[in-house]
A and B are shown apart, each in its own frame.
Chain A
Amino acid sequence: MIYGIGIDLIKIERMREATDKWGRKFLEKVFTENEIAYCYQKKEPYISLAVRFAAKEALIKAIGSEIAVPLTDIEILNYENGKPSIKAKNKLKDFFKKKKIKNCHLSLSHEKEFGIACVVLEK
């Protein structure tokens, strides 16, 4: 059964500007250390950062307005085959348990200027 669906679109340039201007003070409010390390291994870290930000916002939309989730409670990881996945931490982990959310499906994409993410939560 579908619990919720969310989608988010972000201009990659906005992520580059924010990261260049505020550095770690910005990054640490949005991303976990694992995510920062993963993105900065990439040739174009801003694309990876932008789609992860979109994924977090998409997940928040899928949850609805029931709880306020800190962005760092949502960790976007990749399986060895490259498929992205969501790891729920702290408050979000408790929420998933309470709502019996069993699967969290995520799809990411980007094209030149924009990154996009779609999340489907399944009970």
Chain B
Amino acid sequence: MHMKEELRKFIVDNFKFGKGTIDDDESLFESGIIDSLGRVKLLAFIDETLNVPLDMRDITIDNFSTLNQMAETIENKVRNS
């Protein structure tokens, strides 16, 4: 499964309880879909499943709010590691 689709599935399953979907450019924090604890769970998922150890220092509101931003941030981390 493509990385962005894995992220989408995890977010829908864990934060929307399997109901509906999310758009690529939807702000997941501002909309309240993911809260502060959810953000850390998402990082743990990315570490465990995608094998990319993102740190809290790697993410900001400008590079980790939407699916597209998350995918780009992960790709950048892989490219620079």
Contact = CB atoms under 8 A, between A and B. Distances in A.
Interface of A: 10, 14-15, 18, 21-22, 25-26, 29-30, 53, 57, 68, 70-72
A26 B44 contact: yes
Contact of A30 (B40, B45, B57, B60): B40
A29 B44 CA distance: 8
Contacts of B60: 68
Tell me the interface secondary structure of chain B in the complex.
helix
Interface of B: 36-37, 40-41, 43-45, 47-48, 55-57, 60-61
21 contacts: A14-B37, A15-B37, A18-B40, A18-B44, A21-B44, A22-B44, A22-B45, A22-B48, A25-B44, A25-B48, A26-B40, A26-B41, A29-B43, A29-B47, A29-B56, A30-B40, A57-B36, A70-B55, A71-B40, A71-B56, A72-B56
